Structure 1
Amino acid sequence: MMMFITKHDDGYLYVVNQYDHSVQAGEVARHWGNESFDQPDYFNSLCLSVEKHDIGWIESDEKVLFNHETGQPVPFLSVNLMQHVDFYGKGYEKVKAEDPYAGLLVGMHWMGLYTSRFGYDPSFTFNIPEDLAPQIDQKIVSMQKEWIDLKMGIWQKSEPRSQFENSLWMNYEILQFMDRLSQYVSMHKPDTTNKLIMGPVRKELSSKGVMVTVQGQGDGTIVVDPYPFGAEEVETTVLIRKIPDKSYPSHADVFKELEEAEVEKVTWKFISPGERDRTTPAAAESVTL
């Protein structure tokens, strides 16, 4: 399985399955939109794309990817590139069959992982070995050619084509933001006060993108500024497992450890700066399933 794996000072690896992260991100995305942030066109398809952007990794859920040199499971940024292409490709096809617009966004998210997210986030791109670069470049080109036909099947002729394209890229921005926001809660403990700046993301179709500050308050509450959600607070749940941070003799050993680990349900809350000033948020809960 593809996983977020983080090390903390308690001697454990904290593990969040990739698809669980995807579903959690999709649940939060459905709260997008308020007086400052417009709910974009094709909103339901956008939310579906956020929810299922990592659905291709379900197939690997019974195979813990294992690094024989370290004796530990493989974190998501260290997955073999061709496995990465294969799993994301299957997910793209699956979502596209359900909802072509959502599939298009998943495809853009996938290709963006090899292209610094098309310039949206120049600090991030998947590590591409030199010998595989031509193959990946060819994949990027062929996928974008495929999207031409996909777009023509979705585009409503009564809608200006420029507006369709502009809205598509706005939805891509929101997908990237929701992915990173979910990564924040998947890779931190509730007592974090770490501050990250994410974006840019647009408030409305014609506006410039704004950067969004995300900062934990030390109790499972996260202040998001500016705040893009409709509810005063958005509660979300992350499913984690903890296994000892050690070198495991074999793939079978680490798989068994993960299978037997209790699943913990960790609750987080996203709030606006104003809500933080008005209230004293309750501490995050940790419940064993």
Structure 2
Amino acid sequence: MIVVSSGEIIRMVEQHEHGKVSGEMAKYIHPDLFPGTPLRSDVEFAISYHDYAWKEIDQHPRLNDETGAPYSFTDYPLTAKLASYEKGIDSVQNHSAYAGLLCSLHYSSFFSSESTNPVIKSFISREMNRRKQLQSRNVAFQNGEILDCHFKWLQFCDDLSLYLCMNEPGVAKEDEVSWFQNGFRQTFPFAPGGMEANWKDPYTIGVAPFPFKETFQVRLPYKSFNKKDFQQNDLEEIYQNTEFSMFTFIISSE
């Protein structure tokens, strides 16, 4: 779950809904910037479903007693989170082996290969074995340069979607979530210094350099609550009984 706190109001976005927004963005990536065209549908599927691992978890939100807020993807208990990661990668791989490879890379990138945590070490090891097996069986998956580019597009679409989810619409650059104030981490030949997003107004986000073939819209469902409601009632019951609201955002060039 993506959890955004603003005063007494908490906004919650389900991870798979955020992922589907990422996937919609991926469809608009300019074809001139996308090598390995035969794999494009697999990459788009990977981007759309990169957070499918959270779908079941997000139907049963839990309160973090230490923070008094719902658990988010940043503080959810590690062991349960990693188990869901693997289950999610399995589901994606069953649909597309290449998408499974990309999602395995994505989740593995969250952790240091030098971690001493046995749970993390075990997860990293299993995912390394998964990727070796997938690549050994598929020659098309062995082009490191193309794989790296596709992985960067997954990360960029993920980050741009998170930019929409985690910021207050229309926020000034200096008040943005710190993760993205200095732009996005991914670099490409057309954007050697990376890309940056800015809110032009509460509904429009400009991206430069612009990687998409045209301006487009995305729709993001969310639910919002008053913090005090969680202290008086069951979080899961409140969540399930609350209707979705909808943001509509325009992604354009600067």
TM-score of the aligned structures, taking structure 1 as reference length? 0.78
Give how far 1:246 is off.
3.0
The one-letter code of the counterpart of 1:65 is: R
> Greater CA deviation, 173-182 or 53-62?
53-62
**Equivalent residue number for residue 160 of structure 2:** 181
Distance 1:216 1:198 in 2: 15
Instruction: Give RMSD over aligned pairs.
Output: 2.2
Distance 1:67 1:269 in 2: 34
The 3 A distance-change label for structure 1 pair 107 and 236 is: same
Q: How many residues align?
A: 245
**Equivalent residue number for residue 230 of structure 1:** 213
The 3 A distance-change label for structure 1 pair 209 and 81 is: farther
Unaligned runs of 5+ in 1: 119-127, 274-289
Of residues 177, 198, 202, the one that matches 2:184 is: 198
**Equivalent residue number for residue 261 of structure 1:** 242
Distance 1:49 1:172 in 2: 10
Give how far 1:54 is off.
0.9
Q: Indicate the structure with greater helix content.
A: 2
Contact 2:206 2:252 in 1 (8 A): yes
Contact 2:196 2:207 in 1 (8 A): yes
User: Does 2:80 correspond to 1:60?
Assistant: no
Give how far 1:34 is off.
5.1
Give how far 1:70 is off.
3.6
The one-letter code of the counterpart of 1:183 is: L
Contact 2:82 2:123 in 1 (8 A): no
Unaligned runs of 5+ in 2: 174-180
The one-letter code of the counterpart of 1:139 is: F
The one-letter code of the counterpart of 2:207 is: V
**Equivalent residue number for residue 8 of structure 1:** 6
Distance 1:136 1:70 in 2: 24
Distance 1:239 1:79 in 2: 21
Distance 2:36 2:195 in 1: 18
Higher Cα Rg, which structure: 1
**Equivalent residue number for residue 251 of structure 2:** 270
User: Does 2:155 correspond to 1:169?
Assistant: no
**Equivalent residue number for residue 243 of structure 1:** 225
**Equivalent residue number for residue 34 of structure 2:** 38
The one-letter code of the counterpart of 2:84 is: F
Q: Any idea what SS the aligned residue of 1:202 has?
A: coil
> Greater CA deviation, 17-26 or 39-48?
39-48
Give how far 1:63 is off.
1.4
Distance 2:101 2:194 in 1: 25
TM-score of the aligned structures, taking structure 2 as reference length? 0.88
The 3 A distance-change label for structure 1 pair 191 and 91 is: same
